[in-house]
Copies of this chain bind each other. A is one copy, B any other.
Amino acid sequence: MAQPMYHQIADELRGRIEAGELAPGAQLPTELELREKYEASRNTIRDAIKRLTSLGLVETRPGQGTFVVQRIDPFVTTLTGELEAGRAPGESAAYLTEVSDEHRTAKVSAPRVEVQVPSAEIVGRLRVEPTTQVVSRHQERYLDGIPWSLQTSYYPMEFVTTGGALDLLKAEDMKDGVVGYLEEKMGLEQVGYRDWVTARTPDLNEQNFFKIQHDATVFEVFRTGFDQHGTPMRVTVTVFPADRNQFIINVGKVPPPEYNVEA
């Protein structure tokens, strides 16, 4: 037994999926059928299918069966070039839409605004004292009705208390963007930002919102915006499920993309 049986079964099914014989959305044979076909026990069949689910190739639905996953046409976010707008990653939906696909419709939830004591992660990036409070603005983003990203921005509380940027506490979407508002209100200009991209597994909230498995992967992008004094003025944390998101970074002189390179 060079390869265990459940590996072999999984590999054959994977081959049939990648060859297109089992198209996206198609139902795999039931456990009982596979059991007869491969003359294996039910547990062995289930081990094989578990391998495919862990690769994100299939999904099982209790009471229904196992199905080849429908791959979502990936959403492509350009992390560079949003400086003028001073937006968080994925915020300028118009531009992004152009990059990835034509007819996507973006939807954003009303922000959930909170005043809170920041986590160590935010303290380090926003460079505030651990005891001070910060304003957090959280939004859920959809594209074509599909959950696309979860985003939370953090601002120093002084922006409200001594800076007079009272609208930061308003639970309303800011049409011209928060950065424009802060410039108008406080003379703060975002002259640059640093994105920090990591990957991890989703927490429970993210699993539920994105409808992804506990062992799926999400990108976590920390964007720290800097003002004209080189001081961090806000930190935005955006979480993207990796199965439907990609990123572009343009540096120097780069021609516009002529077409989507995906096969």
Chain A residues near B (Cβ < 8 Å): 51, 54-56, 74, 76, 79-83, 120-121, 124-125, 190-199, 201, 214-215, 217, 219, 226, 230, 242, 246-255, 257, 259, 261-263
Q: Tell me if B248 and A196 are in contact (CB < 8 A).
A: yes
Oligomeric state, in copies: 2
Most chain B beta carbons < 10 A, residue from A197, A262, A263: A197
Q: Tell me if B197 and A197 are in contact (CB < 8 A).
A: yes
Contact residues in B for A249 (Cβ distance below 8 Å) = 79-80, 194-195, 197, 249
**Majority secondary structure of chain A interface residues (helix, strand, loop or mixed):** mixed
Q: Tell me if A246 and B196 are in contact (CB < 8 A).
A: yes
Contact residues in B for A193 (Cβ distance below 8 Å) = 250-252, 254
Contact residues in B for A262 (Cβ distance below 8 Å) = 124
What residue of chain B has the Cβ atom nearest to residue A53's Cβ? Answer: B215
User: How far does the Cβ of A121 sit from chain B's closest Cβ, in whole Å?
Assistant: 7
A-B contact pairs, 13 of them (CB 8 A): A51-B214, A79-B249, A79-B251, A81-B251, A192-B254, A193-B251, A194-B249, A194-B251, A194-B257, A197-B249, A215-B215, A230-B255, A249-B249
8 Å CB contact of A55 from B55, B81, B191, B215: B215
